């Protein structure tokens, strides 16, 4: 009996002295079977607009695996819920980790789920970091789902489906063939669109490129639109002159049409006459082309290019246009004019014909008769005979006789 009293007294003392350790109540005692925080957990602060009935000591999970626990829940400065959690130090979360309040089952307890976003940032979240409202959310509650379902079933969309069906039946009643034809046409339209989807896609791509070009040239388009009103005003000011010009052009076109109609037969005839000439030009086409290729390359044609060892050739030409030398060369030839059977056959050799033209430097050449009496041209130095006509007066006494130097005596040294 004494032992039982001592045990009860000891338990009472322990309970009394433990009130200081449990000053926060049983809520501050870690529950058995919770998450393993390890030796070095880190703390995170998560902001929620609503935590529903989340309580301290709730689990923190990553991929439905417990990795931490909820330490504290309090109201933030902006009337938001701030939840402090501790997470196992071996769990590496990205700096932009997201948080969500979920339920273990339909009527289960709440827990905080941590997850990485789809395109997570590199690195690791720091100890004491805060996950803001933009990266937090919560799952829908059963009460919210049942309330939405009640709204749908009681006077909501479901109640209106019957009305919609009745009105649709009234609209389609008696129009079944037209509706069937409409559906057939719609089927054909959809099939045609499906067959040309490649062209439609290319057209959309071209429109996209056109839009990009217009966007790149938006400044030029804006300038053109700004300059357009002055141009329109100028056209308005010149409208009377433009109308007069168009009317004059109309009259000109009428006159031109009349001229063309009247000269049509002559033009056709001229073209018919031109046809043989063009035909001969066509026949001589290759020869004409070959001859034209020789003109700019004279005296070295294309066929002589290979005869020169190098990339260029030289040609020196000395052209002596001294008229006296030309006449001397022709006089030395001593050949008669061509055509002995023609009218020129009676002419003497070129030396006799050109003698009077050479002046005093010419050799003594005999005279030659032409048709009638007298010489064609007197030799240089000869005295001109007096005129035989009775009407001409004889030369005066004491006057020097006139000396002729030939046809070109004045040019080649003769005197008068």
pLDDT at residue 76, rounded to an integer: 87
pLDDT at residue 30, rounded to an integer: 59
Please check whether residue 97 is in contact with residue 52, taking contact to mean a CB–CB distance below 8 angstroms. Answer: no
Instruction: Record the tokens describing residue 213, joined without a space.
Output: 């070009």
Residues 46 and 85 grouped into a single domain:
yes
Whether 23 maps to a domain, the answer reads no
- CA separation for the pair 74, 51 (Å, rounded): 10
| Residue where one domain finishes, among candidates 185, 202, 233 | 233
Instruction: Record the tokens describing residue 236, joined without a space.
Output: 């308005």
Whether 414 maps to a domain, the answer reads no
| Residue where one domain finishes, among candidates 113, 139, 165 | 139
Residues 209 and 244 grouped into a single domain:
no
In this structure, how many other beta carbons lie within 10 angstroms of the beta carbon of residue 405?
22
Whether 274 maps to a domain, the answer reads yes
Whether 159 maps to a domain, the answer reads no
Residues 110 and 126 grouped into a single domain:
yes
Query: Which is it for the CA torsion 359, 362, 363, 366, positive or negative?
Result: negative
Whether 315 maps to a domain, the answer reads no
Whether 18 maps to a domain, the answer reads no
Residues 257 and 228 grouped into a single domain:
no
Would you call 373 exposed, middle or buried from its count of C-beta atoms within 10 A (0-12, 13-18, 19+)? exposed
Residues 228 and 243 grouped into a single domain:
no
Residues 190 and 255 grouped into a single domain:
no
Tracing tokens 């030839």 back to the chain, one arrives at: 333
Residues 182 and 251 grouped into a single domain:
no
Tracing tokens 């929620």 back to the chain, one arrives at: 48
DSSP letter (8 states) at residue 257: H
pLDDT at residue 377, rounded to an integer: 45
In this structure, how many other beta carbons lie within 10 angstroms of the beta carbon of residue 138?
20
**Domain count along the chain:** 3
Residues 134 and 63 grouped into a single domain:
yes
| Residue where one domain finishes, among candidates 280, 298, 316 | 298
Residues 60 and 119 grouped into a single domain:
yes
For every one of its 416 residues, what pLDDT tens digit does the chain have, with 9 covering 90 and above?
A: 555 554 455 555 445 444 444 455 555 555 566 778 888 999 999 999 988 889 999 999 999 899 999 999 999 888 899 999 999 999 999 999 999 999 888 778 899 999 999 899 999 999 999 999 999 998 887 777 777 777 766 666 666 777 888 888 888 888 888 888 999 999 999 999 999 999 999 999 999 999 999 999 998 999 888 888 888 888 898 999 999 999 999 999 999 999 989 999 998 999 899 999 888 888 887 777 777 766 666 666 666 666 666 666 666 677 777 777 777 776 666 655 555 554 555 555 655 555 565 555 555 444 444 433 444 444 444 445 554 444 445 555 554 444 444 444 444 444 44
Residues 196 and 108 grouped into a single domain:
no
Domain that holds residue 292: 238-298
Residues 266 and 294 grouped into a single domain:
yes
Whether 162 maps to a domain, the answer reads no
- CA separation for the pair 301, 312 (Å, rounded): 13
Whether 22 maps to a domain, the answer reads no
pLDDT at residue 360, rounded to an integer: 54
Please tell me the pTM assigned to this model. Answer: 0.35
């Amino acid at each position: 009996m004494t032992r039982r009293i001592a045990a009860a007294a000891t338990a009472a003392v322990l309970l009394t002295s433990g009130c200081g350790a449990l000053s926060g109540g049983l809520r501050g005692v870690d529950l058995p079977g919770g998450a393993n925080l390890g030796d070095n957990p880190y703390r995170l602060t998560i902001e929620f607009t609503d935590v529903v009935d989340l309580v301290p000591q709730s689990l923190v999970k990553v991929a439905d695996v417990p990795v931490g626990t909820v330490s504290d829940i309090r109201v933030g400065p902006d009337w938001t819920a701030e939840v402090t959690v501790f997470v196992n130090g071996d769990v590496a979360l990205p700096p932009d980790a997201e948080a969500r309040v979920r339920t273990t089952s339909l009527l289960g307890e709440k827990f905080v789920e941590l997850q990485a976003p789809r395109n997570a940032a590199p690195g690791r979240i720091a100890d004491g970091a805060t996950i803001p409202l933009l990266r937090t959310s919560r799952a829908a509650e059963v009460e919210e789902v049942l309330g939405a379902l009640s709204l749908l079933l009681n006077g909501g969309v479901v109640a209106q489906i019957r009305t919609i069906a009745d009105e649709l039946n009234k609209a389609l009643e008696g129009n079944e063939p037209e509706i069937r034809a409409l559906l057939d046409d719609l089927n054909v339209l959809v099939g045609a669109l499906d067959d040309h989807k490649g062209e439609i896609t290319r057209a959309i791509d071209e429109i996209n490129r056109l839009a990009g070009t217009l966007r790149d040239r938006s400044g030029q388009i804006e300038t053109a639109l700004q300059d357009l009103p002055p141009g329109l005003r100028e056209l308005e000011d010149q409208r009377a002159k433009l109308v007069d010009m168009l009317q004059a052009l109309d009259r000109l076109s009428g006159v031109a049409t009349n001229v063309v109609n009247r000269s049509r037969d002559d033009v056709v005839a001229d073209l018919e006459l031109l046809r043989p000439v063009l035909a001969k030009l066509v026949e001589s086409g290759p020869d004409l082309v070959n001859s034209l290729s020789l003109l700019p390359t004279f005296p070295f044609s294309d066929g002589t290019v290979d005869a020169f060892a190098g990339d260029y050739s030289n040609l020196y030409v000395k052209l002596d246009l001294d008229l006296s030398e030309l006449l001397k060369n022709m006089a030395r030839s001593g050949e008669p004019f061509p055509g002995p059977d023609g009218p020129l056959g009676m002419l003497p050799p070129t030396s006799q014909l050109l003698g009077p033209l050479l002046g005093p430097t010419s050799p003594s050449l005999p005279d030659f008769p032409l048709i009638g009496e007298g010489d064609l041209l007197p030799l240089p130095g000869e005295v001109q005979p007096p005129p035989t006509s009775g009407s001409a007066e004889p030369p005066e006494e004491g006057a020097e006789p006139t000396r002729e130097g030939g046809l070109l005596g004045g040019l080649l040294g003769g005197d008068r």
